[in-house]
Amino acid sequence: MSVSFLIETSHLTKRFDGVTAVEDLSLHVKRGEVLALLGPNGAGKTTTIRLLLGLLAPTEGTVHVLGYDMRRRSQAEQARARVGVLTETPGLYETLSALENLRFFAALYNVRNAESAIETYLRLVELWDRRHERVGTFSKGMRQRLALARALLHEPDILFLDEPTSGLDPAATRRIRELLLDLKTQGRTILLTTHNLDEAERLADRIAVLRTRLLVIDTPEALRLRLYGRRVRIECSAPCPQALEIVQALPFVRHVAASSENTLLVQVESPEEQNPALIEALVQAGAKIRWVEEDRVSLEDVYLQLVGDTEEEAV
């Protein structure tokens, strides 16, 4: 089945006993795209994943995955056979070895050349040498890597990752992230939910910020420009009292603020073209400039600007 978008929702809404978990969500994900869903606890990220997988029926709206109508049980089952899922809790059989776990799931998915596929993905997640050990002896990071191998075993068209590094230590988080970066370079289609903003920025082509409703969706860089524009940080070696007033008077300056008595943050359209005139005006006013650099706003700043820092109970 050939479709323009591998994931497509229109006005998707889910309510639980009068409480709205997801409201009027419309989004599209292309083949080979990595989309990160961000939002505070209770924003509807996990509920959205469950709706996309056909595990929950929407209250309103439509949801299609790989062209299948996920509101219809038979079509949802066909779609689920072609997707891979990695959740925060891996759900592996702890009394079985890593090899036995993957053999079991390979049989469920009717994976061709199962032994070859199992070896490929156990090597990918760096667990081939531990393949005969019981999963109950694995660390949480090792279990997540094994669960990722399981999710990839049948070569899914889409990979759904729900908080894949939640609760992992820094070393385990880094290994999972490196694996996901490898998958991205292979052109995999991935929908990712995460609270880790650095992870989202490294992995995602686009970012969707949810707070029950979709607040915004765009590339990380476009979100920065939309909210903050381009900013230049200018640090002087000594205070220049008149600097703020002089910079504000320049016609190409959109906004200026003093982050300290020696430092200005200046928003302009094009630093490459306008920095020379900006610096010249400051030097003529007696400012002793120590350095000038473009100020890169963090994704955390963008996120907090959109949703604030209030955390709610998860839905």
pLDDT tens-place string over residues 221-247: 888 888 777 889 999 888 877 888 889
What whole-number percentage of the chain has pLDDT above 90?
Answer: 57
In order of 184, 204, 284, 309, the CA distances from 221 in angstroms are 18, 11, 34, 21
Q: Tally the C-alpha atoms within 13 A of residue 196's C-alpha that lie toward its C-beta.
A: 21
Of 223, 241, 234, which Cα lies nearest the Cα of 300?
A: 223
The total number of residues shown for the chain amounts to 315
Superfamily of domain 7-224: P-loop containing nucleotide triphosphate hydrolases (3.40.50.300)
In the DSSP assignment, the letter for residue 134 is B
Where are the CATH 3.40.50.300 domain residues in the chain? Answer: 7-224
The pTM for the full model equals 0.82
Distance (Å, whole) CA 27 – CA 86 = 21
What does pLDDT average to over the chain?
90
Residues with Cβ within 8 Å of 241's Cβ and at least 6 positions away in sequence, in order, are none
What whole-number percentage of the chain has pLDDT above 70?
Answer: 97
pLDDT at 309: 53
Q: Is the dihedral of CA 264, 267, 270, 273 positive or negative?
A: negative
Say how many Å lie between the first and final Cα of the chain, rounded.
33
Distance (Å, whole) CA 148 – CA 155 = 12
Class of CATH domain 228-300: alpha beta
Where are the CATH 3.30.70.100 domain residues in the chain? Answer: 228-300
Q: Any idea of the CA torsion for 244, 248, 252, 257, to the nearest 10 degrees?
A: 60
| Most distant pair of Cα atoms in the chain: their distance | 76
Q: Per-residue pLDDT tens for 33-85?
A: 999 999 998 899 999 999 999 999 999 999 999 999 999 999 999 999 999 99
